[in-house]
Chain A
Amino acid sequence: MASIDLEKMRQKIKNTQWALVDFDWGSPGAEKITTEQWPKLKTFMADLMWIEHVGARGFAALAKSAPTDNLREIYTYFHAEEQRHANAEMALMKRWGMLDKNEPPVPSANLRLVIEWLERYADDTPFNLLATLIPMLEVALDGALCKYLLETVDDPLCHEIFAKINDDESRHLGVGFTVMEMQGKGPHYIAFIQMLGHLFDPRLIAGALVYFPLLNSMRDNLIAMGMQEEKLYKSIAKFKEIGGRTDQGRRNPWFQVIQYHGTIMVDRSNHFYHVPVDMLVALSNKIPRRLLPSPPTWVAELTHRPIA
Chain B
Amino acid sequence: MNDLTINNRINQTLDVIIIGAGFSGLGMAIQLQQANINNIAILERDKEVGGCWRDNQYPGAACDIPSHLYSFSFAPNPNWSRAYSNSHEILEYIKSLVSDFELQRYIRFNTNVSNITFDEKAGFWTIKTDKRKALKARSIVIASGPLANCSFPNIPNLKEYKGHKIHSARWDHNFNFSGKKVALVGTGASAIQIIPKLVKKVKHLTVFQRTPAWVLPRLDAETPQWISSLFRELPSAQKLSRQAIFALHEVGALGLIWNSPLTSAMQRVALKHLQHQVKDDWMQRQLTPNFRIGCKRVLMSNNYYPALQQPNCKLITWPIARMSEKGIRCAEGIEHQFDCIVFATGFDIGTQTAPFSVKGVGGRDLGEDWKRGAQAYKSINVSGYPNLFLTFGPNSGPGHNSALVYVESQLNYAVQGIQRILNEDLAQLDVQAKAQEKYNIKIQKRLSKTNWNSGCKSWYLTEDGFNATMFPGFATQYSIQMRQFKDKDYHRVSAI
B329 adjacent to A308 (CB under 8 Å):
no
Residues of B within 8 A of A20 (CB): 333-335
B337 adjacent to A84 (CB under 8 Å):
no
Query: Within the assembled complex, what's the spacing in Å between the Cα atoms of A77 and B318?
Result: 8
* Interface status of B364 (Cβ within 8 A of chain A): no
B329 adjacent to A83 (CB under 8 Å):
no
B residues at A contact (CB < 8 Å): 156, 280-283, 285, 290, 318-319, 321-322, 324, 329-337, 457
A69 adjacent to B321 (CB under 8 Å):
no
Please name the residue on chain B nearest to A78 by beta carbon.
B331
In-complex Cβ contact of A296 among B282, B321, B322, B333 (8 A): B282
Interface 0/1 of A267-298, CB less than 8 Å to B: 00000000000000000000000000000111
Residues of B within 8 A of A80 (CB): 318-319, 330-332
Query: Within the assembled complex, what's the spacing in Å between the Cα atoms of A77 and B329?
Result: 13
Residues of B within 8 A of A129 (CB): none
A residues at B contact (CB < 8 Å): 14, 17-21, 64, 69, 72-73, 76-77, 80-81, 83-84, 87-88, 119, 123, 296-298, 301, 303, 305-308
Please name the residue on chain B nearest to A61 by beta carbon.
B285
Known contacts A76-B319, A123-B285, A19 near B280 by CB under 8 Å? no
Distance of A87 from chain B, by nearest CB (Å) = 5
Q: List 17 A–B pairs whose Cβ atoms lie within 8 Å, in order of A's numbering.
A: A17-B329, A19-B329, A19-B333, A19-B335, A20-B333, A21-B324, A80-B318, A80-B319, A81-B331, A81-B332, A87-B332, A296-B281, A297-B283, A307-B334, A307-B335, A307-B336, A308-B336
In-complex Cβ contact of A83 among B318, B321, B324, B335 (8 A): B318
Known contacts A76-B319, A77-B319, A19 near B334 by CB under 8 Å? yes
In-complex Cβ contact of A19 among B281, B285, B321 (8 A): B321
Residues of A within 8 A of B331 (CB): 17, 77, 80-81, 84
In-complex Cβ contact of B281 among A84, A87, A297, A305 (8 A): A297
Residues of B within 8 A of A301 (CB): 332
Residues of A within 8 A of B330 (CB): 80
B332 adjacent to A306 (CB under 8 Å):
no
* New A-B pairs, 7, CB < 8 Å, besides A19-B334, A87-B333: A19-B333, A76-B319, A80-B330, A81-B331, A296-B282, A297-B282, A301-B332
A303 adjacent to B319 (CB under 8 Å):
no
Query: Within the assembled complex, what's the spacing in Å between the Cα atoms of A276 and B266?
Result: 50
Query: Within the assembled complex, what's the spacing in Å between the Cα atoms of A107 and B316?
Result: 24
Residues of B within 8 A of A296 (CB): 281-282
Distance of A18 from chain B, by nearest CB (Å) = 7
Query: Within the assembled complex, what's the spacing in Å between the Cα atoms of A169 and B165?
Result: 35
Which 10 residue pairs spanning A and B have beta carbons closest together? A84-B333, A80-B331, A17-B321, A83-B332, A80-B318, A80-B332, A298-B282, A297-B282, A19-B329, A20-B333
Distance of B205 from chain A, by nearest CB (Å) = 13
B335 adjacent to A306 (CB under 8 Å):
yes
Please name the residue on chain A nearest to B206 by beta carbon.
A308
Residues of B within 8 A of A76 (CB): 319
Residues of A within 8 A of B335 (CB): 19-21, 306-308
Distance of B414 from chain A, by nearest CB (Å) = 39
In-complex Cβ contact of A308 among B282, B324, B337, B457 (8 A): B337
Query: Within the assembled complex, what's the spacing in Å between the Cα atoms of A296 and B330?
Result: 22
Residues of B within 8 A of A18 (CB): 333
Query: Within the assembled complex, what's the spacing in Å between the Cα atoms of A17 and B319?
Result: 10
Residues of B within 8 A of A64 (CB): 290
Query: Within the assembled complex, what's the spacing in Å between the Cα atoms of A84 and B329?
Result: 11
Query: Within the assembled complex, what's the spacing in Å between the Cα atoms of A77 and B280?
Result: 23
B333 adjacent to A69 (CB under 8 Å):
no
Known contacts A17-B322, A76-B319, A80-B318, A88 near B280 by CB under 8 Å? no
Query: Within the assembled complex, what's the spacing in Å between the Cα atoms of A308 and B322?
Result: 15
A87 adjacent to B334 (CB under 8 Å):
yes
Residues of A within 8 A of B334 (CB): 19-20, 87, 303, 305-308
Query: Within the assembled complex, what's the spacing in Å between the Cα atoms of A51 and B336?
Result: 25
Query: Within the assembled complex, what's the spacing in Å between the Cα atoms of A87 and B334?
Result: 8
Query: Within the assembled complex, what's the spacing in Å between the Cα atoms of A123 and B331?
Result: 21
Query: Within the assembled complex, what's the spacing in Å between the Cα atoms of A14 and B3?
Result: 61
Query: Within the assembled complex, what's the spacing in Å between the Cα atoms of A307 and B338?
Result: 11
Residues of B within 8 A of A306 (CB): 333-335
Please name the residue on chain B nearest to A13 by beta carbon.
B331
Please name the residue on chain B nearest to A15 by beta carbon.
B156
B457 adjacent to A69 (CB under 8 Å):
yes
Residues of B within 8 A of A298 (CB): 282
Residues of B within 8 A of A72 (CB): 290
Residues of B within 8 A of A69 (CB): 457
Distance of B202 from chain A, by nearest CB (Å) = 15
A88 adjacent to B333 (CB under 8 Å):
yes
Query: Within the assembled complex, what's the spacing in Å between the Cα atoms of A17 and B323?
Result: 12
Residues of B within 8 A of A83 (CB): 318, 332-333
Query: Within the assembled complex, what's the spacing in Å between the Cα atoms of A123 and B282?
Result: 12
Please name the residue on chain B nearest to A18 by beta carbon.
B333
Query: Within the assembled complex, what's the spacing in Å between the Cα atoms of A84 and B330?
Result: 9
Query: Within the assembled complex, what's the spacing in Å between the Cα atoms of A296 and B156?
Result: 32
Distance of A174 from chain B, by nearest CB (Å) = 17
Query: Within the assembled complex, what's the spacing in Å between the Cα atoms of A296 and B457?
Result: 30
Residues of B within 8 A of A21 (CB): 324, 329, 335
Distance of A231 from chain B, by nearest CB (Å) = 27
Query: Within the assembled complex, what's the spacing in Å between the Cα atoms of A21 and B333?
Result: 8
Please name the residue on chain A nearest to B455 by beta carbon.
A69
Please name the residue on chain A nearest to B281 by beta carbon.
A296
Distance of B187 from chain A, by nearest CB (Å) = 15
Please name the residue on chain A nearest to B288 by beta carbon.
A64
Residues of B within 8 A of A87 (CB): 332-334
Query: Within the assembled complex, what's the spacing in Å between the Cα atoms of A80 and B156?
Result: 17
Please name the residue on chain B nearest to A123 by beta carbon.
B285
Distance of A281 from chain B, by nearest CB (Å) = 28
Query: Within the assembled complex, what's the spacing in Å between the Cα atoms of A64 and B337?
Result: 29
Residues of A within 8 A of B290 (CB): 64, 72
Residues of A within 8 A of B333 (CB): 18-20, 83-84, 87-88, 306
Distance of A62 from chain B, by nearest CB (Å) = 13
